[in-house]
Structure 1
């Protein structure tokens, strides 16, 4: 059977690949995308989960990147108010610290005025002796600056871009590895293999997009036979999750004596997320895991600020990911550029676009710039459209979250408040479709632990390419924090018994 020809074939189901696929299909291109694992299972789910301008990037004079990121904060918030929301960050100041007060004030002034802020509150100064934000910190921090950025459920941002791309007509292939790509008569011939069944398919496309993140150089070498010079600098970032260290919805921005910074962020109601580290990485990115040195670093750095020290015994979960930064020759990992670089190779009039670097906050603009290069190579279609679009479930006002929760509880009175809040945070208005017809808790199906039930698992398998328990408990939800090993095993058996119900 001959597969249809595509205009664009995207390799990589992280945020950049899914963002490019969504933008392209929305303009009228015929698009296919293949991801060798689960969507967002690499770098894109291992972030600090912020939609932010990158305050510290100002020190490296990356004004273009910071301005673009600042402008994107409210654009993305409007696109997906269920999985993105504003957060205030408290930056404690100590006289004689790493950065003088005037420099911080200057940075925050630029932060407030570079990016067209309209809804996010401006920076202000806090008296930590009176403000509740000072309570969990050591008393030596009497002053702080408070500024605005945003929070995002990173893995869900990826899968919702994939979902929307599919809904608009793109062919989205999960757990499908690209085995080879070759140029033939002005077209790409792409052979892929289903990682679950071993079945192979062959596609043709006018243009190939290599958005494989940390594997971008590896894809060039192994699937295309190119002896590419190393163009990606792999930098590992690790995070720890501990039992809640403070009350409230504000996060903290801590400056360390080595000029690095870490965040301490409210996480999943009962926890605090602390990270990240920055260190060069060698090896296969899939094997990235936190090191004892990184654990010690994060605990020690946080303990410099918190009155109650953070120890390794407090840790309930860790995660690590490798960021594929463009190799600009920076001497230190934390100094390497976070900006993205798009390079076109049009050998034999068969174009290839390689995507290097990037960050969650700028993924939509990266996709727009990628589409500009695609249009130059194979002809333009449509016009920019994503800035005013909504991701699935995000069709409500940016300040309408509580109203959606109230509506969901009114429609399904048996739901507990915390459960309803989590469902709206994850699925937005799609939660109503998920629960359609449910009149009692029994209608939610099998109970797996936490507040995870069969109806939600079934939904994720049918609508969001979830195939394994890990997909559900760590990427589509964070119920892994609340499920026991035995409960996860039961979930794995349940999902394995329902292969025919999966969309992939």
Structure 2
């Protein structure tokens, strides 16, 4: 598989693995991490780029799922609040508390007292949420916020019928793309191998035989290689049935797809996240983030190819209708900067996508005559760690006769490989980071920005600046600098302009990217990737074209 060598992360490619994991979203990355943690030789194969699908289309929240209490899904909530805590311990520079205001109107169902009882139960489930957490990011107790004070904090709320809000703390996933890469780094630090832009096009083996790996096509060169593995775990999210191909029906894999769309708006003025139910019965979160606001998500069923799912006028209309029903003024076109869309894989339990459980399921296909093959469906960002742990426990129990001996691996209180370690406060960690590599000559705010994104690896970015001062230049109005684009290609396996802008830097997550910034980044990475002038321009045109298409839908929705 030498065709992949330029973008292989971690251990060099082998001819054979103990475990091959398909899918580089949060599910696949956590499954791979726990396989490597148990001492198994593991490869992670991602068709596009790490986190480029569902895992990037979030509300920027790691949450316990308060609304699932309303559905009596206590197991999911209890597990979620525990996993929220473990993620905060693993990466406190990327996972921090965020206050949520659970609003109540006189027409709300359930009414304010019942909401309060639910919040109290929710907080009781997270009784130990501050244990081991740095002092400056600990969560306060929940409390009631009266109508007058609430309107001062959330100026856009409709005052008519407003009673107040219950304030409680969940957690902000500050940069989901970077958090996923941090978890991926922990996987490769434990001896794992990861390769992106590599599509699984078939399974090695037929029904009645043991599956012995996968056939992989390099999506950049078109080359096809076989990857042999004792166990194959299909963790491709909405694409799990596509991976199985003609075997999906026989394997009994059914995944219900739910489209989640967010509006990305200017700063609407609230400093805390607002969790509100509109008059149409829909819940949305209005979450301030990086000087902007995320409004969403929708949670609507979709059929067919997950790759073809885009934001539609109907999606935008649904979000506007929900928000406007509790807002003092309607959302206008000038408010909306961009949209975000993702497809969530849900277990097909017969319910609609809005009320479907966020539990997960791991299926051993030995029951279908496909031994050595497992498929994971369902789940969510917050419970990804537990999901990875349980999946690998299941795999080892079912396949122990075929796998080498394994070791114990407890990731619950384990810091990620690039986290800063034992600091009393996150601020102290950043202060220490800001003093590193003074010869780079960068201002403190840039250094803190890099420390937050890369953890201890930020020093590698500083080294690039120290060697070439031109790489200290800012990219547009973002806090990103040119060195990050170089690092994305040389150290983080980015291979397209979108990989760099949207999932290695932050500039592509802050709304529409200016054409000048897109062109500048393309010029930085083109020589590193061997792009011709035509290829470089094609990358820019494709990126800007996708942006224009989203703008067109927004314009139509407000016309």
In structure 2, distance between residues paired with 1:427 and 1:74: 21
Residue aligning to 1:360: 381
Residue aligning to 2:413: 388
SS of residue paired to 1:386: coil
Residue aligning to 1:340: 360
* 1:292 aligns to 2:316 (yes or no): no
Judge conservation of contact 1:414–1:440 (CA < 8 Å) in 2: no
Structure 1 ranges of 4+ moved more than 6 A: none
* 1:307 aligns to 2:332 (yes or no): no
From 500, 519, 533, the counterpart of 1:472:
500
1:388-443 deviation per Cα after TM superposition (whole angstroms, max 9, x unaligned): 22224322358633223333444448544543343232112322332137459935
1:43-86 deviation per Cα after TM superposition (whole angstroms, max 9, x unaligned): 11112221111011111111111100011111100101121111
5+ residue gaps in structure 2? 2-12, 131-138, 532-559
Alignment of 1:88-107 (within 5 A): 88-107=99-118
CA-CA distance at 1:30 after TM superposition:
0.8
Judge conservation of contact 1:163–1:463 (CA < 8 Å) in 2: no
From 172, 177, 194, the counterpart of 1:155:
177
CA 1:306 to 1:410, structure 2 compared with 1: closer, same or farther past 3 Å? farther
In structure 1, distance between residues paired with 2:248 and 2:78: 38
Alignment of 1:312-327 (within 5 A): 312-327=333-348
CA-CA distance at 1:334 after TM superposition:
0.4
Residue aligning to 2:157: 137
Residue aligning to 1:38: 49
Judge conservation of contact 1:8–1:32 (CA < 8 Å) in 2: yes
SS of residue paired to 2:406: coil
Say what the alpha-carbon RMSD is for the aligned residues: 2.5
From 212, 228, 234, the counterpart of 1:204:
228
In structure 1, distance between residues paired with 2:339 and 2:512: 14
In the superposition, the TM-score normalised over structure 2's length comes to 0.83
5+ residue gaps in structure 1? none
Residue aligning to 2:538: none
* 1:169 aligns to 2:191 (yes or no): yes
* 1:406 aligns to 2:431 (yes or no): yes
Alignment of 1:16-95 (within 5 A): 16-95=27-106
CA-CA distance at 1:487 after TM superposition:
2.0
Judge conservation of contact 1:124–1:145 (CA < 8 Å) in 2: yes
Judge conservation of contact 1:241–1:271 (CA < 8 Å) in 2: yes
SS of residue paired to 1:109: helix
CA 1:294 to 1:93, structure 2 compared with 1: closer, same or farther past 3 Å? same
CA-CA distance at 1:137 after TM superposition:
2.5
From 362, 375, 379, the counterpart of 2:396:
375
In structure 2, distance between residues paired with 1:225 and 1:247: 46
From 124, 128, 145, the counterpart of 2:147:
128
In structure 1, distance between residues paired with 2:92 and 2:80: 17
Farther-moved stretch of structure 1 (8-17 vs 437-446): 437-446
In structure 2, distance between residues paired with 1:357 and 1:292: 27
In structure 2, distance between residues paired with 1:276 and 1:482: 19
In the superposition, the TM-score normalised over structure 1's length comes to 0.92
In structure 2, distance between residues paired with 1:134 and 1:93: 13
1:98-141 deviation per Cα after TM superposition (whole angstroms, max 9, x unaligned): 32123211211110112343313221111231354244423333
Alignment of 1:395-474 (within 5 A): 395-397=420-422, 400-411=425-436, 412=438, 414-436=441-463, 438=465, 442=469, 444-445=471-472, 447-450=474-477, 451-474=479-502
Judge conservation of contact 1:134–1:142 (CA < 8 Å) in 2: no
Farther-moved stretch of structure 1 (209-218 vs 449-458): 449-458
In structure 1, distance between residues paired with 2:324 and 2:52: 30
